[in-house]
Structure 1
Amino acid sequence: MALSILCIYYFDGVSAGQHAATPTVAILICYSIFSALLYVFELYQRPLIPALTAHWIDVGWYTLLIAVSNDVNSIYLYGFFFCILIASFRWGFKSGLRVVVVSALIFIIVGLITAPVGTQIGLNHFSIRPVFLTALGYMVAYWGGQEITLKRRLALLRVVNTLSNPRFGVDRTIGSVMERLRTFYEADVCLMVMADLQTADYQLRRADHRHPEQAVHAEAISAEMVSRLLALPAAYGIIYRNGNCGQWWRRWSQHCLAIDVEQNVRPAVPRNTVGELATALDSQSFITVPMRYRNEYVGRIFLTSSRAAFQSSDVGFILQVIDQVMPVIDNIRLVDRLALDAAEYERQKIARDIHDSVIQPYIGLQIGLTAIRQKLNLGIDVTHNVESLLQITGEEVADLRRFVTSLKSNREQADNLLPAVRRFAAKFDKVSGIKVEVDAPTDIRVNDRLAAEVFQMIAEGLSNVRRHTESRRVAIGIACRDNQLTVRITNDNTNGSAADIFAPRSITERAAALGGRAHVKTERDGDTVITVEIPL
């Protein structure tokens, strides 16, 4: 900028003025050196002067140029626009407007003081340039402030979109959004009245500058307070300012604006309702916007301030923030629900595993000890039985260790079902004396989790045969057809009497948890068949 003005001075000597050529050149050279130093220091990220004062120093430079030019028509007036641009697009509308006012006043005062003696200054001609500076400078300041506001809004929306961390939970996410909104508008308090999506009861959240973390906790709210806070039409956004707050030029009148967010029109303001709401909020200025969830209004959000800093465009922006937040909250709720369901499923699975892998072996051990006691009462040698029981106990302890190890392991295998079933069938045959036959193709491949569930169902089925029947033979069939795993456990009817039909609870629960079903039936020959069908 400084070099450009220096070039203009040489190529347009008439416009630059001839009365103070040497001082003008000196000032332009000094300004160029100063600007070069600023640029070099900025490159090395070591600012020479505070950023907030840089544009004011530029104003000083252009004031000197206007003063030495001794010309009310000086072209250095346009240098003020550079200062206005810097202030507006870096610091906002208010900063730019200050530079506009100061620059216009400086131009008028310096122009009058430095005008040649005896020069007739026409008021109409003299006022054109400061009026032009003020009008165009105001426009530049306004659009600079709008750009900064839009950048801040985009930054807030970007932050809101990154808050979807399920670890934080719904309460923490809502509280964080409320506090960020309050900070964005420099509001005193942010209130949210929202219906619980599960119970439909309304809850109140509050975030203020003294207790920013308070919004994390929802409070119960009375029906009377709900009716007062939600008395406005559901689709109305309201901006309210009392005449006693805000900038001095706004304190002469009360301001109230209503916006129908559905129709995008400005309806008549329900002033009585708004006045009662202002009393309930105990605020001189507030903005309120409805909260929508799946095209239904579920509450309102309020921002209260003593500075009256709300504009009509803020209604649409807050609505946009809410539209971004509600899907995030919905996703977090969904993840929480899935996590709870998964945890409940795991608890049920572990409970069934403990029943089948821990309790059942101890029941067998109890039965064995009872048989030994009966033999001791009859004077029968039980040495062999004790040795057999010790062997069984060791095997069960090893099984328990494998069970605990499987709970800790995350490894997946696809070929461990049949070997485990055959080993267990052989051990069951040896201990109980019940012949077990396993009929299954060798190419059955299921993942480790499904294999563990199927194995537990087979183990539970064999245990039920031993405890509740007098069968001496059991047949286990495993097959995969039409994307379905079928397990059949058949026990023969030894004594020929009708067996009691019942559905084993543990097997039924496991099958249902896997999306399948289990049913029991009696064949014509009297054999009992438990069939488990699981979709793959």
Structure 2
Amino acid sequence: MNSQKAAPHEQFWAHKSGGAPPKKLALPRIPLPVVVLRTLPGELRASCYTEFVGNLSPRMSPHQNDRSHFERQIVVARPILILLALLAALEQPPSREAHRSASFLIAYLIVALIVTQIERLLRRRSWHLPLVCDLLALGFFMFTSPSTVPVWFPYMFICYAAGIRWGFDLTLPLAGVLSLILVFLTAVKGEIHWMRVVSWLGLTMGTFAGGAGLAFLGDRNRRFSSQIEFFSRINATMQVDQGLAESLRLFLQEMAVTFDAEEALLLYRDSDLERIFLWRMKAGESERLVPESMPLSRTDGFLLDDMDAAICWNSLVGPGSGFGWDRRDGRSIKNLPRLPGPVQQELKVRSLLTVAFDQGGQSAGRIFLLNGRKPFQKQDLAWLEDIAQHIGPALENTFLLRHLRARAIEAERSRIARDLHDGILQTLLSIEIQLDVLRRRVPATPEQASHALANLQQTVKNEAAELRQTVTDLRPLRVQSADLVDLMRGFAERYRNESTVALDLLIDSTQLRAPDRVCREVFQIYREALNNIKKHAKASHVVVKLSQDDSRLVLVVDDNGEGFSFAGRFTGDELDRLRLGPISIKERSRTVGGILTVESNPGHGARLTIEVPLG
């Protein structure tokens, strides 16, 4: 026996709440078709699109803080509307029924005020008066009130509160039933004549419209909050500290669950590296994602040559079954692009949903959802397009950080290779040449050979010490603000002992207050700058000054050596354009948002200044 599978938004609800969603919590269908909506011009299209996507987005549970905010609205609205109903009841002519209904409303008002205080005391336990109690009170008041005018106020309250708690789909029939009961009681009590059909219908529609409008308002607030919370959760997956692979794993996993797809993919086109990177995440997996690298020649194989198309294929067999539109103007695409046969077989694609995402105003890649457990609909594609629009900046920041880290790693490797080449490799080559000469001279001049061997032994010791220091410098370094001054002074002491360069270290304050990552990078810049001076600048004196004020941390390294090959004062960006300056130091200063300035006077030294804002 075939059973119909739950819709993507229902699967999402069940996944997040731990249980099945209410059967009648399906999303309301907006009568405006997607194609018509996307052909509307300008701001009207944008406004309608926001309304459309807001109503068709997957149903999500509001964040706990937002839920508490909505419950406070209900708690405050209850006594206010009861008070309005009481004032309306007191306007009625004196009678036994009017006195009884007023007494009931007074008691109801007292209970509402007590409930307000109780819910305030029990807010940590999230206790709230069940809405069924208000429904029972409304039912009793309907049949006891001599007039239906006071009944409108608790009726409006019920509709608004039910819209928040139960959603629009459940509240709409409830509002219809209650409005029919109200109009029926009005007719029975003789306030309208049975023959006045037009008035009866108008009163019915007005009552229903008022209740439905308040229900929609409550449900709309709930949905808007849920949408914001969903986008916040999606953006939270893009954490720079956890790295690109883990961020994309969490994001793609969330996408697969939300749309009830078997697999989620993200393709990124890196123009600098001239490569395409593919991350694949199967639903339910938790392994670390390793991207597949492909040449740009495979662009057309993943629809990267038509980045403006939002596409859905529910079937790729034969002519297939699908739909899509151009994201620039919303016009429907008649000839839908489709994945080539080899790619379909490689990914085992039966159905797909795909949209593009941007970086810096340019199309950068695509998000794919493969093999949905039920056919995708137009609202699913619109919702995915909205998600891609919101996640674009977070993805851009994550990829930018990855790019900066890659450049920093490349620069660090280049520096290490350069140091090894200029240092120990040159020394080893010199030792090899001297040993060859000594091998020939030992029989003839053993005393000179012995002296030369002693010099070589000392050279090897010096190089071993330098290599040991290089290895020490490569180890991960943890620097806190409280330790920065001591580390700088300790390194300065070793520097004076191991080199012929005179070093003056000037620190304005011993109470530095800066983030640990800033302190770490500043120390690395300080250490690398001094090592570069020792190896390349041929300086006899260097002055280092570290200072801090309320807004910035400043490091200045000034030497009297040969300076750089260029003359003048340049910023880090200007040095990048000219392909000049210390690469690793430029990358480290950029990592912490610092401003690098290099002043060079060939033959007379150089000054390096790094200003790190402490915002």
Normalization by structure 1: what TM-score? 0.59
1:237 to 304, 310, 313: 310
Counterpart-to-counterpart distance in 2, 1:16 and 1:358: 111
**Does structure 1 retain, via aligned residues, the 8 Å contact 2:561–2:604?**
no
**Does structure 1 retain, via aligned residues, the 8 Å contact 2:265–2:368?**
yes
Counterpart-to-counterpart distance in 1, 2:282 and 2:94: 61
CA spacing shift, 1:268–1:28, aligned 2, 3 Å: same
- Look up the match of 1:84: 159
Q: Does 1:102 align with 2:178?
A: no
**Does structure 1 retain, via aligned residues, the 8 Å contact 2:84–2:153?**
no
By how many angstroms is 1:331 displaced? 0.7
**Does structure 2 retain, via aligned residues, the 8 Å contact 1:417–1:451?**
no
- Look up the match of 1:439: none
Normalization by structure 2: what TM-score? 0.53
**Does structure 2 retain, via aligned residues, the 8 Å contact 1:66–1:76?**
yes
**Does structure 2 retain, via aligned residues, the 8 Å contact 1:190–1:301?**
no
By how many angstroms is 1:10 displaced? 4.6
CA spacing shift, 1:407–1:153, aligned 2, 3 Å: same
Q: Does 1:323 align with 2:363?
A: no
Give the match's secondary structure for 1:310: helix
Q: Does 1:36 align with 2:113?
A: yes
Question: Mind listing any 5+ residue stretches in structure 1 that lack a counterpart?
Answer: 243-254, 424-445, 460-477, 487-511, 516-530
Query: Which stretch shows the higher mean deviation, 389-398 or 328-337?
Result: 389-398
By how many angstroms is 1:133 displaced? 3.3
For 1:237-276, list aligned pairs within 5 A.
237-238=310-311, 258-262=324-328, 264-267=329-332, 269-270=334-335
Q: Give deviations 1:168-209, integer Å, cap 9, x for gaps.
A: 3333332322233445x453346335254245457362443x
Counterpart-to-counterpart distance in 1, 2:500 and 2:118: 78
CA spacing shift, 1:205–1:86, aligned 2, 3 Å: same
Give the match's secondary structure for 2:331: coil
**Does structure 2 retain, via aligned residues, the 8 Å contact 1:204–1:221?**
no
Amino acid at match of 1:188: A
CA spacing shift, 1:79–1:10, aligned 2, 3 Å: closer
For 1:278-357, list aligned pairs within 5 A.
282=350, 287-293=353-359, 297=363, 299-303=365-369, 304=372, 306=374, 308=377, 310=379, 314=383, 317-349=386-418, 351-352=420-421, 355=424
- Look up the match of 2:260: 187
For 1:78-477, list aligned pairs within 5 A.
78-88=153-163, 90-91=164-165, 95-109=167-181, 112=184, 121=194, 123-159=197-233, 165-183=239-257, 185-189=258-262, 191-192=264-265, 194=267, 196-197=269-270, 198-201=273-276, 203=278, 205-208=280-283, 210-211=284-285, 213=286, 216-218=289-291, 230=303, 234-238=307-311, 258-262=324-328, 264-267=329-332, 269-270=334-335, 282=350, 287-293=353-359, 297=363, 299-303=365-369, 304=372, 306=374, 308=377, 310=379, 314=383, 317-349=386-418, 351-352=420-421, 355=424, 359=428, 374=443, 397=461, 400-401=464-465, 404-405=468-469, 408=472, 411=488, 413=492, 420-421=499-500, 449-453=528-532, 455-456=534-535
**Does structure 2 retain, via aligned residues, the 8 Å contact 1:191–1:206?**
yes
Question: Mind listing any 5+ residue stretches in structure 2 that lack a counterpart?
Answer: 1-77, 316-320, 474-486, 503-524, 539-558, 568-579, 584-601, 608-615
By how many angstroms is 1:344 displaced? 0.8
Counterpart-to-counterpart distance in 1, 2:390 and 2:179: 44
**Does structure 2 retain, via aligned residues, the 8 Å contact 1:203–1:220?**
yes
CA RMSD in angstroms, aligned pairs only: 5.5
Give the match's secondary structure for 2:355: strand
Q: Give deviations 1:10-66, integer Å, cap 9, x for gaps.
A: 564355994633542443234223323332233234478855x73343233222211
Q: Give deviations 1:260-288, integer Å, cap 9, x for gaps.
A: 212x23335547979x99998545xx753
**Does structure 2 retain, via aligned residues, the 8 Å contact 1:66–1:111?**
no
Give identity over the alignment, percent. Answer: 11
Counterpart-to-counterpart distance in 2, 1:182 and 1:308: 16
By how many angstroms is 1:341 displaced? 1.0
Q: How many residues align?
A: 427
Amino acid at match of 2:330: V
**Does structure 1 retain, via aligned residues, the 8 Å contact 2:142–2:182?**
yes
**Does structure 1 retain, via aligned residues, the 8 Å contact 2:275–2:294?**
no
Flag the structure with more relative contact order, 1 or 2, with Cα contacts below 8 A and sequence separation at least 6. Answer: 2
Counterpart-to-counterpart distance in 1, 2:93 and 2:313: 52
CA spacing shift, 1:49–1:370, aligned 2, 3 Å: closer
**Does structure 2 retain, via aligned residues, the 8 Å contact 1:202–1:220?**
yes
**Does structure 1 retain, via aligned residues, the 8 Å contact 2:563–2:605?**
no
**Does structure 2 retain, via aligned residues, the 8 Å contact 1:485–1:534?**
no
2:150 to 67, 70, 75: 75
